[in-house]
Amino acid sequence: MSAEQVDGRTDIYSLGVILYELLVGELPLDWEVLSKAAYGEIVRRIREEEPPTPSTCWLRLNPETTRALAEKRRAAAAAFARQLRGDLD
């Protein structure tokens, strides 16, 4: 745990963000919006906004993107979307 962190929850959150990005190739919250927001607004969004589940995010991606990501995982795009549902969501 980093010294500036209050407790281990921030590590768990960071791990979840990394997993989300590894699974669907996108961050859970819109980076363009967050990069322009003040610190307090970023914290508010993280606390109050529920990001889309990985399977929902996957379905919203461009079909070319999902095909390329699925190929890297040696899976079909539709099959990978099914794998995301459940525990990974």
User: Is 1 part of any domain?
Assistant: no
Q: What are the contacts of 37-44 at 24+ separation with CB within 8 A? A: none
Q: 85 with 56: CB under 8 angstroms?
A: no
**Is it the case that residue 1 has pLDDT exceeding 60?**
no
Residue 2 reports pLDDT greater than 70: no
Q: Is residue 26 part of a domain?
A: yes
For helices 63-72 and 77-84, give the axis angle rounded to 10 degrees.
80
The pLDDT tens digits of the residues spanning 33-74 come to 889 999 999 989 988 999 999 999 999 999 999 999 999 989
Quote the DSSP letter at residue 52.
P
Instruction: Examine the pLDDT at 30 and tell me if it is beyond 80.
Output: yes
Q: How many CB atoms lie within 10 A of CB 66?
A: 20
Please give the DSSP secondary-structure letter assigned to residue 8. T
> pLDDT value at position 4?
59
When divided into structural domains, the chain yields a total of: 1
> What residue numbers bound the domain in which 17 lies?
9-84
Mean of the per-residue pLDDT values of the chain: 87
